[in-house]
Chains A and B, each alone.
Chain A
Amino acid sequence: MLPEIRSYLDEVRSHLHLDPATEMQIVREVYTYFRDSVDELQANGLSESEATKAAIESFGRPRVVARRMYEAHSKGSEIEAVIACLPHFIIAGLFISQLWRHPFWASIAFVSIVCVTLYGWWHGKPSWLYPWVGYSLLPLLIGGYAAAPVLGQAASSLFLGRGSFPSVWALLLVLALIGSSLWIIVSTTIRVVRRDWILASLMLVPLPVVGAWLLDLEQAGGVFQGATASVHQLDMSMALAFITLGVASATFVRLRQRVLKVGALLTVCTIAAAAIGHSFWGDYGFFGLLATSLLMLVFLLSPALIEAKIGHGEQSGEAWWESSMRWEEALAGHDRPV
């Protein structure tokens, strides 16, 4: 392949932000266009470099082509929008019914969410998947929260000489739990960011909400200390927050233009964060609201910084090109999104 064409296709691919199978299909198809176009232009008397230049110019700017292709593929169906908001509504249901306090029902909800996540993850990672992935990561966050007191006990004993040092086995277990949870959350986030940072934001948005809730409960005596009046009061606020996130996810899936997707997600989630902060901490003033909104905004935008650092695509450039030019896979329909 000519370097100019490869460089053009690389740039188109870097702005596609679609699932790997669709990206491969698009690049293969545009490549066939260049092959046909350059052949014809050469037959008309142009040199190879002139023909290549003319074909590339004729196709348009790579960013514009990538944006149009993104818009052709990005709009999910109504069913996909409903599936995308379901995990939010399941968790909202746990709070409305206060069933989150019952380990059996909470476990049933999370096991179901993890099963759907694994199904979607191994079946082409459709756009509805990412909210489910976010909720699948929640047990890891909650597990880390539950294990943190053992670390605190160890630190207090070691540095301040207060209390007894926990058993080595308990400490190792806690360290392994927190380490593996962090590893799963970070590696999943990086994999999603490699496809599209905005999907990572969509995925991670429940984590700060639940994190703030856990901190608030900690102040009220801890999640595992039993229900208190203030804990009850939070349940409806949490349910409303998750319903809002569900509506934001469904809107995200249905929108076609990327700029609107980003705008909708950032706006709704930032407002939701300010509302949650208000319900947790009461009237904490304009600057409190502003700080909560800004923190959420920075959190949602942080995957964009990670993407700028690690780049796009799960495979390195050379490996990706090798597999994308295996035409027998295309002929067998292997580049079709599942």
Chain B
Amino acid sequence: MKDKPSKYVPDLLRGSTDTLLLFLIQERHAYGYQLIKEIERRSHGYFRFKEGTVYPALHRLENEGLLEGEWQELPNGQVRRYYRITEKGKYALREKMATWRDFTSAVNLVFRPVEA
């Protein structure tokens, strides 16, 4: 994995933030900071979300009914807002992932060298 993402990454990320967040939250309930760290860890540091973009995205997804947020108290007394995916969110995620697969396949087809 590249150490330093190219300048084009933010543009690509902007269109796929919702999908990445929905996918991770589908796997397990999570809170904002945890999601930022998890995306960074899984992409080996390639995706570095600006924190100030993730929380508004979570709120927008919640308002659209794709996520549900709930405050939970941890055993150590700290409180965090955890998100879980809704049925509508699962359906939207399936749609987004299918679109993403079709899109990347199409891009790869275009990138394939022309056979003589």
Contact = CB atoms under 8 A, between A and B. Distances in A.
Contacts of B81: 25, 28-29, 32, 330
B79 A65 contact: no
A333 B31 CA distance: 16
B33 A59 contact: no
Interface stretch (B3-11, B49-57, B92-100, B101-109): B49-57
A36 B32 CA distance: 10
Nearest to B53: A68
Interface in B16-66: 31-33, 50-53, 55-57, 59-60, 63
Contact of A33 (B55, B78, B79): B55
Contact of B52 (A29, A60, A335): A60
A283 B70 CA distance: 60
A30 interface: yes
A30 B52 CA distance: 9
B56 A59 contact: no
Contact of A65 (B56, B60, B70, B78): B56
Contact of A32 (B31, B50, B53, B56): B31
A32 B71 CA distance: 11
A100 B83 CA distance: 51
B80 interface: yes
B87 interface: no
B59 A33 contact: no
B55 A30 contact: yes
B73 interface: yes
Given A32-B33, A36-B33, A72 B51 contact: no
A258 interface: no
A58 interface: yes
A249 B51 CA distance: 33
A65 B50 CA distance: 10
Given A29-B81, A32-B33, A327 B73 contact: yes
Nearest to A68: B56
A192 B52 CA distance: 27
A68 B72 CA distance: 25
Nearest to B79: A327
A32 B79 contact: yes
A69 B56 contact: yes
Nearest to A76: B63
A65 B51 CA distance: 9
Contacts of B71: 28, 327, 330-331, 333, 335
Interface of A: 25-26, 28-30, 32-33, 35-37, 58-61, 64-65, 68-69, 71-73, 75, 327, 330-331, 333, 335
27 contacts: A25-B81, A28-B71, A29-B81, A32-B32, A33-B32, A33-B55, A36-B33, A36-B80, A37-B33, A37-B51, A58-B50, A58-B51, A59-B50, A59-B51, A59-B52, A60-B50, A61-B52, A65-B52, A68-B53, A69-B55, A69-B59, A72-B56, A75-B63, A330-B81, A331-B79, A333-B70, A333-B71
Interface of B: 31-33, 50-53, 55-57, 59-60, 63, 70-73, 78-81
